[in-house]
A and B are shown apart, each in its own frame.
Chain A
Amino acid sequence: MLASLAALAPDPTTAPFWDACRRRELRLQRCADCSTFRQPPSPGCPRCGSARSDWPLLSGRGTVFSYTIVHHAAVPPLAGDVPYNVVVVELDDAPGARLISNVLDAEPSDVTVGMRVEIAWDEVRPDVVLPRFRRAGRG
């Protein structure tokens, strides 16, 4: 899905996230001083200001915090993709951090706030693996 948007441009701050994705590992940035997760990655902790961070491995399980169903293609290349869902996922083992993603293999009416999801790696190009999700407990 959404193949026209798949290019990435990592920088030194965001590369650890995308490098982990290529290994099918979900790793989020965590402050090495106050242990607060933050996403997207950034050079400083918004809670304590520390520049030190680590990248713990996460389970990939989470809950849909919010979602939209996009019916209007904002740019012409997406005309063939609508309608599609966009979800904001809270991860079980990274409190306070949220990932923006999509739920694969779901009809628009399937997506709800509170829906349980698990990671579903999507290799859109050999060098680009995106963290999408599917409903938890299904193939």
Chain B
Amino acid sequence: MKDRACIVGVGTTRFAKRGELFDENPIDQVRTALDMALAEAGLSRRDVDGFATYSVEKLDPSTLAPALGIPAVNYSSMVHGGGGGGTCGAVANAAAAVIARQADVVMVYKFITQPPHARFGAAYGSAQVAADPLSDFHRPFGLISPAQFFSLLFRRHMHRYGTTPLHLAEVAVSTRRHAMRNPSALKRDPLTVAQHQSARMIADPFRLFDCCQETDGGAVILVTSAERARDLRQQPVYIMAGAMGGDSLWGQGLTSQNQPEDLYVSAGHAHMAKRLYAQAGITPDDVDVALLYDHFTGMVILQLEDYGFCERGEGGDFVASGAIRWPDGRLPVNTHGGNLSEVYLLGLTHVIEAVRQLRGESTAQVADAEIALVTAGPSNLPSSSMLLRR
């Protein structure tokens, strides 16, 4: 796959608080994001012939293609899983499709709007309230929301390695500082360590600012072959490597809490990290900027370890050193403000920020950024991640 497919355009709807876009026509939202991406690339809707998505996306090509004036569909796929684990997998599917010449231009897309009364976390919880053979082993004990599941993994990391809530605060505060530079970010008020530490507890050790926002919006990312990309308007961003899956003993570990301890104190991405670096022929030292899926602050720390930016157990000290802060940190992380402070679109905005960094367009631009790591949401299998270069 290395460098044979490119991202040539990105587009989004406006970002809005949860519920604000619920009444807007979803096709109109896709058209808005798609046309922005097409304009970047210098392509038209008639050039699009493939669809790649994830997370049980309801909008499928049977409605999208005719409504958008896309003449024919040559490729369509969806990654398994209901959270944000499939983001990079969907991009990798698109890359594989254009490399195999099944399609010419694939739109990777995801739209998330929610009724004002039903938060994702609560909706997830409500779904869990219905008895079901697998959830019977956690639901009756009050373990029903993502924050609760992830808090258990992080608690064990704290116990084993001495990681602390102040390390969580550093992730929340540094991410907010990045968001304050980004006019599109929804959370731009200053956030201090003291505010983080005094915010209400959600699921100990996670407090309010350890949990990402829930928002409305959507995004489109256009993928085509490297040959085609050279003739387009935008500087291409090359897909160096893509990984989708994980260690099978991770399995349903998030909800079952049954993975072996070395996996339990991780984000479940170490298996994919090895594959990414091998495919791309690089090491963690070569990564200039990392866009790490931040549904919860603690999972950023665990991913830093999974991807080899520090040793297992040293993620807390790594962030405390200022390493993830733009501009002076060794590895600026989530320079757009992430799910925590920019917007929560199930990970596509992390891909978009990587593209902007590699084009030199970020509002927290890493000097001379050449290689970006993007991860999708740690969750039950499969999750995914990828390396991009300019």
Q: Contact residues of A with B, CB < 8 Å?
A: 1-2, 4-11, 13-14, 18, 38-40, 46, 65-72, 74-75, 77-78, 81, 83-84, 86, 88, 96-102, 108, 113-114, 124, 128, 130, 132
Q: Are A68's CB and B151's CB within 8 A?
A: yes
Cβ-defined partner of B133 (8 Å) among A4, A10, A101: A10
A to B CB contacts below 8 Å, 16 in the list = A1-B142, A7-B140, A9-B132, A9-B133, A10-B136, A40-B256, A66-B152, A68-B203, A72-B201, A74-B148, A78-B142, A81-B142, A86-B152, A98-B257, A100-B141, A128-B140
Cβ distance B296 to chain A, nearest Cβ, rounded Å: 12
Contacts of A78 in B (CB 8 A): 142
Taken residue by residue from 167 to 197, chain B's Cβ proximity to chain A (1 for < 8 Å, 0 otherwise) reads as 0000000000000000000000000000000
- What is the chain B residue whose CB lies nearest that of A6? B140
Q: Pick out which of these stretches binds chain A: B29-37, B123-131, B269-277.
A: B123-131
Q: Are A70's CB and B133's CB within 8 A?
A: no
Q: Does B258 contact A (CB under 8 A)?
A: yes
- In the bound assembly, the distance between CA atoms of A12 and B131 in angstroms comes to 15
Q: Are B257's CB and A66's CB within 8 A?
A: yes
Cβ-defined partner of A68 (8 Å) among B121, B204, B264: B204
Cβ-defined partner of B248 (8 Å) among A6, A46, A66: A46
Taken residue by residue from 149 to 163, chain B's Cβ proximity to chain A (1 for < 8 Å, 0 otherwise) reads as 001110110010000
Contacts of B80 in A (CB 8 A): none
Q: Does B202 contact A (CB under 8 A)?
A: yes
Contacts of B145 in A (CB 8 A): 74
Q: Contact residues of B with A, CB < 8 Å?
A: 121-122, 124-126, 129, 131-134, 136-145, 147-148, 151-153, 155-156, 159, 200-205, 248-249, 251, 256-258, 260, 264
Residue in B121, B125, B143 whose Cβ sees the most chain A Cβ within 10 Å: B143
Residue in A6, A39, A86 whose Cβ sees the most chain B Cβ within 10 Å: A86
3 smallest CB-CB distances across A and B, nearest first, come from A9-B131, A74-B125, A74-B145
Residue in A10, A46, A70, A81 whose Cβ sees the most chain B Cβ within 10 Å: A70
Cβ-defined partner of A72 (8 Å) among B131, B136, B200: B200
Q: Are B201's CB and A75's CB within 8 A?
A: no
Contacts of A14 in B (CB 8 A): 133-134, 136-137
Cβ-defined partner of A5 (8 Å) among B137, B140, B204: B140
- In the bound assembly, the distance between CA atoms of A113 and B162 in angstroms comes to 13
Q: Are B129's CB and A86's CB within 8 A?
A: no
- What is the chain B residue whose CB lies nearest that of A2? B142
Q: Are B203's CB and A11's CB within 8 A?
A: no
Residue in A69, A88, A97, A130 whose Cβ sees the most chain B Cβ within 10 Å: A88
Q: Are A75's CB and B125's CB within 8 A?
A: yes
- What is the chain B residue whose CB lies nearest that of A99? B137
Contacts of A69 in B (CB 8 A): 201, 203-204
Q: Are B125's CB and A39's CB within 8 A?
A: no
- In the bound assembly, the distance between CA atoms of A87 and B319 in angstroms comes to 28
Q: Are A71's CB and B136's CB within 8 A?
A: no
Cβ distance A72 to chain B, nearest Cβ, rounded Å: 4
* CB within 8 Å for A101 and B248 given contacts A40-B258, A69-B201: no
Contacts of B264 in A (CB 8 A): 66
Q: Are B159's CB and A113's CB within 8 A?
A: yes
Cβ distance B142 to chain A, nearest Cβ, rounded Å: 5
* CB within 8 Å for A72 and B133 given contacts A66-B152, A88-B152: no
Contacts of B202 in A (CB 8 A): 71-72
Q: Are A71's CB and B201's CB within 8 A?
A: yes
- In the bound assembly, the distance between CA atoms of A70 and B204 in angstroms comes to 6
Cβ-defined partner of A97 (8 Å) among B133, B153, B251, B258: B258
Cβ distance A98 to chain B, nearest Cβ, rounded Å: 5
Cβ-defined partner of A7 (8 Å) among B121, B131, B144: B131
